[in-house]
Amino acid sequence: MKTQRIVEILKSGVVDTDIVVKGWVRTKRGNKNVAFIALNDGSCVNNIQVVVDLAKISEEELKPVTTGACIRIDGRLVASPGAGQGVEVQAEKLEVYGTADPESYPLQKKGHSLEFLREIAYLRPRTNTFGAVLRIRHAMAYAIHEYFNNHGFYYFHTPIITASDCEGAGAMFQVTTLDLNNPPRTETGAIDYSQDFFGKSCNLTVSGQLEGELGALSLGRIYTFGPTFRAENSNTPRHASEFWMIEPEAAFYELEDNMELAEDFLKYLIRYALEHCAEDLEFMNKMWDKGLLERLHFVLEHDFKRLDYTEGIEILKASGRKFEFPCDWGCDLQSEHERYLVEEHFKRPVILINYPKEIKAFYMKQNDDGKTVRAMDVLFPGIGEIIGGSEREADYTKLHNRVTELGMSERELWWYLDTRRWGSAPHSGFGLGFDRLLLFVTGMTNIRDVQPFPRTPQHADF
Amino acid sequence: MKTQRIVEILKSGVVDTDIVVKGWVRTKRGNKNVAFIALNDGSCVNNIQVVVDLAKISEEELKPVTTGACIRIDGRLVASPGAGQGVEVQAEKLEVYGTADPESYPLQKKGHSLEFLREIAYLRPRTNTFGAVLRIRHAMAYAIHEYFNNHGFYYFHTPIITASDCEGAGAMFQVTTLDLNNPPRTETGAIDYSQDFFGKSCNLTVSGQLEGELGALSLGRIYTFGPTFRAENSNTPRHASEFWMIEPEAAFYELEDNMELAEDFLKYLIRYALEHCAEDLEFMNKMWDKGLLERLHFVLEHDFKRLDYTEGIEILKASGRKFEFPCDWGCDLQSEHERYLVEEHFKRPVILINYPKEIKAFYMKQNDDGKTVRAMDVLFPGIGEIIGGSEREADYTKLHNRVTELGMSERELWWYLDTRRWGSAPHSGFGLGFDRLLLFVTGMTNIRDVQPFPRTPQHADF
């Protein structure tokens, strides 16, 4: 008999049929005559109840059925007379696939701190919390692909190993096959990277955007969705050394189109989560963040307020609020400023545009005022910036001048500049950190708790 | 007016309507009275024909409209009187976004060799060939996510940076933030990796499988789809240093289920390509590989033959064929052997199972004969092995013995062994190289021509 997943059994509504269920024991309780096993197979947060008549399956046989053990039950699916579940399985036959010695198995039935669970990251997906988080993670990844596929964006694999750090977005990890103990050296004593695997010094990418622009200027609309890296030695709840990023880039999109895309995209994802992850979200809302569902609806139900950075600064200065970091025109906004605008002033998500060029990247389209660029940041409740993007500078001369002005290497950026030499087009894009999106959608507060195997300074386990 | 993509305009069938089209000029031809511009926006392989009445738009204005230039046309969409296209655009207004000087722009209208195009990988997505390949690449990636989502598999992000090389699958790239010029050393003079970013020596992953098994033994069914790396100094048409892999892993799947999954999955992908990429496939079939469509249908229309490695060897030995590499029981099969079985003997795709344990990985389930393991390789026409997988050893003692037998490090593998200590379950999985799948589906013969930015020894450009 084909095994069904528990999520399908619970949803099907079919009863009075023979059934096989396989999964891991969450709990076992009972009395002299009957035992109740809560069985979970990872397909959903809910367990299926297995009822064991001890006249059919002996207490001795049931001994290895402890929390964490993996079993197979052949039996009959029936409507449940008890409260709390619609159906239950009357066991006819038990097979134990794998035991879990209660003396040693770390995940006994009791609350565990997130800190403890991080130490056993290889086991924590077996808990209700991480099962829920990882299923939501899947659903969001799928929704991202679905959204872009439906909107004519092609998935574009930008390189992970790269010789360019043109954006200067952050500290980088070096990738090498040189023998660190005794690296080859040039006559002057410098490391001889011509003997390294790629014939030059290479790093892990910090962003696929520049290559993504090449894609947009040929395929029209593309998106990346891949791992990116930062070698910054920062231990905060929002920074990981390895994280996944989504970067759409579209030819013929101006800033206005880019804003529309960002708002529509984020709302699509949140609507998708509410529709497809209802049980997992309710679990997270109940166990970890009582404001989670409300915050998701808040984003969904409001038009995003669009305004100039300059106006934003004026509002902040006029607010009378004492911020930890003072802000004035020209400053990069801190999370406290962004959250004030969203949560207190406008009471809706905000898209802030036209930032001072000095605090934004070289590739952003320059406004005629000579001071600002067509940047946009999407600001959310609770977390501040969730998306950063811009219309890109399409004019060769302006871009070239900016590269020179900033002392960047034209010799390294020639291919990027070439896209403006031949067949240049207006185009725009943005970046969304997948793990930060997950923080927002799951209500978790530490990035280490939304990634299966987080990489942070001093941590690269499993 | 909202811009439509050319793929949508050509499909819609709507005519006699005002329209805006934007794209890159493929060609311009004409006479004194009229010019014809073939315009492409990357959304599909087909161009839209723009007809310019030189009484409306002057020859002078049309001068910068050369191959590769990016333009916007406001005009009227009408049924085309000419052959070769159903609709055309009568231009009312022209705007040039970006010129492409014919003296310098490398992609003039003429055939270019694949070798030349590799040198300008940053521009080649603008060609018909690479446009087609990259759209097929997108479609296959999307179909993979769709298939697994529909079948209850959760997308699981295994780590890219890892401290383990447990599988020994290949040479690895080192990831470090140490100063190569003057790395810290321990008292004994060895490199002091405790001062490296992660506190130990780390590499780029060669496979997400071991971590994927952790996912399957908690969420039930998972799949990975991410970049993997090999630092092998091999320059073949089938090896890249960076490539994407798909690795599904499912609890409660035995070898038989795994074979069913692999066959159903591959057929789904090929059917998806035929349905969603018909024009691009026809283009590839016409331009690059006249046998492409036939080969795709060949896979789709045959049940995969399943047989034991031992039987396969007997067939090869009885074939009377002189192979470059002789084969006998215990040898790993070469591509020539695999292709003989598929193309000449069975005339259908083959799944070979129960390989000698010595030529397969430590984690494969051991058969009772003490000699073979429950491995499976899926063999395809033209390329040989496209999928490799197995049922995994679920028994702690047997797995532990094999680890010891092979002299592997139990100290590094403790977490993997632990999954068999607690709640072990029968489970299976396989790996599919995404870029090799693309070779099969596009008819290209070099892996460098199905990746946007290939990384191979001495090559990490863009």
Residue extents of the structural domains in chain A:
6-98, 126-169+206-449
Contact between A91 and A432 under an 8 Å Cβ cutoff? The reply is no
Tokens 């379950």 identify what position?
B425
Partner residue facing B459 (CB), from A198, A415, A420: A198
Question: How distant is the alpha carbon of residue A310 from its chain centre?
Answer: 31
Contact between A280 and A448 under an 8 Å Cβ cutoff? The reply is no
> Tokens in use for A223?
């998106």
- Cα A214 to Cα B41: distance, rounded to the nearest angstrom: 13
In a structure prediction context, what are the per-residue pLDDT tens digits for chain B, which is 462 residues long? 667 999 999 998 889 999 999 999 999 999 999 999 999 999 999 999 999 999 999 999 999 999 999 999 999 999 998 877 799 999 999 999 999 999 999 998 788 999 999 999 999 999 999 999 999 999 999 999 999 999 999 999 999 999 976 556 678 999 999 999 999 999 999 999 999 999 999 999 999 999 999 999 999 999 999 999 999 998 999 999 999 999 999 999 999 999 999 999 999 999 999 999 999 999 999 999 999 999 999 999 999 999 999 999 999 999 999 999 999 999 999 999 999 999 999 999 999 999 999 999 999 999 999 999 999 999 999 989 999 999 999 999 999 999 999 998 888 899 999 999 999 999 999 999 999 999 999 999 999 999 999 999 999 998
Q: Cα-flanking dihedrals φ and ψ of residue B345, to 5°?
A: -80, -60
Q: Does B173 contact A122 at a Cβ distance shorter than 8 Å?
A: no
Segment A306-354, tens digit of pLDDT: 999 999 999 999 999 999 999 999 999 999 999 999 999 999 999 999 9
Q: What is the mean pLDDT of residues A120-124?
A: 96
Sequence-ordered strand ranges (E) for A99-169? 154-155, 161-162
- A20 in contact with B, Cβ within 8 Å: no
In Å, the largest CA–CA distance within chain B is 86
pLDDT band at A455 (very low <50, low <70, confident <90, very high): very high
- A 50-69 residues inside an 8 A Cβ radius of B: 68-69
Contact between B339 and B381 under an 8 Å Cβ cutoff? The reply is yes
> Tokens in use for B300?
């789709």
Considering only CB atoms, which chain A residues are within 8 Å of B191? 180-181
Contact between A248 and A222 under an 8 Å Cβ cutoff? The reply is yes
- Cα B282 to Cα B44: distance, rounded to the nearest angstrom: 12
Considering only CB atoms, which chain A residues are within 8 Å of B451? 157
Tokens 């790993």 identify what position?
B332
Name residue A15's amino acid: V
Q: Which residues contact B59 (CB under 8 A, 6 or more apart)?
A: none
| pLDDT surpasses 90 at A168 | no
> Tokens in use for B452?
């946007």
SS (H, E, C) A190-238: CECHHHCCCCCCEEECCCCHHHHHHHHHHHCEEEEEEEEECCCCCCCCC
- B429 in contact with A, Cβ within 8 Å: no
Segment B381-437, tens digit of pLDDT: 998 999 999 999 999 999 999 999 999 888 889 999 999 999 999 999 999 999 999
- A159 in contact with B, Cβ within 8 Å: yes
Our CA angle for B399, B403, B406, nearest 5°, is 135
CATH class of segment(s) A126-169+206-449: alpha beta
Contact between A425 and A218 under an 8 Å Cβ cutoff? The reply is no
- A372 in contact with B, Cβ within 8 Å: no
pLDDT band at A110 (very low <50, low <70, confident <90, very high): confident
H/E stretch holding B404 reads helix B396-405
- B 192-231 residues inside an 8 A Cβ radius of A: 197-200, 202, 204, 211, 214-215, 217-221, 226-227, 229, 231
Of residues B110 and A363, the one with the higher pLDDT is A363
Pairing of strands B221-229, B154-155: parallel
Sequence-ordered strand ranges (E) for B331-457? 350-356, 372-380, 384-391, 427-433
pLDDT of the residue at B167: 58
pLDDT of the residue at B166: 57
Q: Does B164 contact A104 at a Cβ distance shorter than 8 Å?
A: no
- A241 in contact with B, Cβ within 8 Å: yes
Considering only CB atoms, which chain A residues are within 8 Å of B420? 98
Tokens 């311009």 identify what position?
B28
Q: Does A177 contact B180 at a Cβ distance shorter than 8 Å?
A: no
Share of chain A residues as helix, strand and coil, in percent rounded to the nearest 5? 35, 25, 40
Q: What is the mean pLDDT of residues A60-89?
A: 94
Q: Which residues pair with B352 in a beta bridge?
A: B307, B377
CATH 2.40.50.140 fits B6-98, yes or no: yes
Considering only CB atoms, which chain A residues are within 8 Å of B125? 214-215, 218-219
CA distance A283 to chain B (A): 16
Helices (H) and strands (E) in chain A, counts: 13, 16
Segment A14-25, tens digit of pLDDT: 899 999 999 999
- Cα B305 to Cα B375: distance, rounded to the nearest angstrom: 15
Q: Does A175 contact B204 at a Cβ distance shorter than 8 Å?
A: yes
> Tokens in use for B212?
């994927």
Q: Could you count the other beta carbons within 10 Å of the beta carbon of residue A189?
A: 8
- A173 in contact with B, Cβ within 8 Å: yes
Segment A234-287, tens digit of pLDDT: 899 999 999 999 999 999 999 999 999 999 999 999 999 999 999 999 999 999
Q: Could you count the other beta carbons within 10 Å of the beta carbon of residue B358?
A: 10
> Tokens in use for B302?
């045959």
| pLDDT surpasses 60 at A429 | yes
pLDDT of the residue at A1: 60
Partner residue facing B424 (CB), from A98, A122, A149: A98
Question: How distant is the alpha carbon of residue A296 from its chain centre?
Answer: 16
Q: Could you count the other beta carbons within 10 Å of the beta carbon of residue A368?
A: 6
> Tokens in use for B343?
């193309």
pLDDT of the residue at A189: 93
Concatenating the DSSP letter of every residue in B279-302 gives HHHHHHHHHT-TTHHHHHHHHHTS
Phi-psi region of B29 (alpha: psi -120 to 50; beta: other; left: phi over 0): beta
Q: Which pTM does this prediction carry?
A: 0.97
> Tokens in use for B111?
């055939």
- Cα B329 to Cα B320: distance, rounded to the nearest angstrom: 16
Buried b (16+ CB within 10 A) or exposed e, B326-345: ebeeeeebbeebbbbbbbeb
Contact between B315 and B326 under an 8 Å Cβ cutoff? The reply is no
Contact between B241 and B170 under an 8 Å Cβ cutoff? The reply is no
Contact between A435 and A137 under an 8 Å Cβ cutoff? The reply is no
Nearest residue to B330 via CA among B351, B369, B356: B356
Tokens 């004519």 identify what position?
A152
- A170 in contact with B, Cβ within 8 Å: no
- Cα A180 to Cα A124: distance, rounded to the nearest angstrom: 36
Contact between A223 and A153 under an 8 Å Cβ cutoff? The reply is yes
Q: What's the N-to-C CA distance of chain A in angstroms?
A: 36
Q: Which residues pair with A53 in a beta bridge?
A: A34
Q: Side-chain half-sphere of A442: how many Cα atoms within 13 Å?
A: 26
Helices A128-150 and A255-276 meet at what angle, rounded to 10?
140
| DSSP 8-state secondary structure symbol assigned to residue B440 | H
Q: Is the dihedral of CA B360, B363, B368, B370 positive or negative?
A: positive
